[in-house]
Amino acid sequence: MLAAGVTAACREIRVALPKTGGDVYRQHQLVWEAMRATARHGQDFTYAMLTPHVALVRSERLPRGQVCELREGRMRVLLATARQTDRGLVALAPDDVPAMVETLLARHGIVPADVEIHDQATLHGTKLDRDTRRQLDIRIPVTDLSFTARFSNRALAALALQHGVGRAKRFGCGMLRPTP
């Protein structure tokens, strides 16, 4: 049994987006606009880009959609994997990612095994500053990876499934996606 107020299931929908040119900020704006009707003050959903034009959105507040249940097994996630230096954000080396993943997921009641890195890249986007009208460049180093999940704390893991893990969730990172 899970802690009060924590559910083991939430719903998922796919949202089609118009052309975004792969701009992570434009994708963010379009997903948030599509979710405006269900979102409370702040983010109560998480999403992952399946293609440059299709987002998978998960929320406990969606009235319809496929149910996503908490279960142990293989999961996939796109994580922001960078460290802050005096030169700005620097992508983690592939050898440093498994330790970071283990530490991050442990805080969410998940014990990962067999971490497999599929790709490392940088998400790009451009935001127009409302005050100065200058274009701000967004760059987020990310790692697409999968792992086998076992739960040390089922209530925390359920929250992680619903709300995602790590940084840059508003840009499509951190959504845990169970895989076959």
**Per-residue pLDDT at 88:** 80
pLDDT tier for residue 4 given thresholds of 50, 70 and 90 = very low
The answer to whether 175 and 69 are in contact (CB under 8 A) is no
Whether residue 35 is predicted with pLDDT greater than 50 in this model: the reply is yes
Q: What is the pTM of this model?
A: 0.88
pLDDT tier for residue 69 given thresholds of 50, 70 and 90 = confident
Give the contacts of 93 (CB within 8 A, at least 6 positions apart): none
**Per-residue pLDDT at 133:** 86
Q: What is the three-state SS of 108-156?
A: CCEEEEEEEEEEEEEEEEEEECCCCCCEEEEEEEEEEEEEEEEECCHHH
For residues 10-16, give the mean pLDDT.
93
> Where along the chain do the CATH 3.30.70.1210 domains lie?
71-178
pLDDT digits (tens, 9 = 90+) for 40-65: 655 689 999 999 899 999 998 888 89
Region for 172 from its dihedrals, namely left if φ exceeds 0, alpha if ψ lies in -120 to 50, beta otherwise = left
Tell me which of 40-44, 69-73, 90-94, 95-99 is least confident.
40-44
**Per-residue pLDDT at 3:** 47
- Cα 83 to Cα 131: distance, rounded to the nearest angstrom: 29
In the chain, % of residues over pLDDT 70: 92
The answer to whether 153 and 171 are in contact (CB under 8 A) is no
Whether residue 30 is predicted with pLDDT greater than 90 in this model: the reply is yes
**Per-residue pLDDT at 60:** 86
Give the contacts of 176 (CB within 8 A, at least 6 positions apart): 75, 76, 77, 149, 160, 161, 164, 165
pLDDT tier for residue 110 given thresholds of 50, 70 and 90 = very high
The CATH number given to 71-178 is 3.30.70.1210
Give the contacts of 1 (CB within 8 A, at least 6 positions apart): none
- Cα 47 to Cα 31: distance, rounded to the nearest angstrom: 8
- Cα 175 to Cα 164: distance, rounded to the nearest angstrom: 5
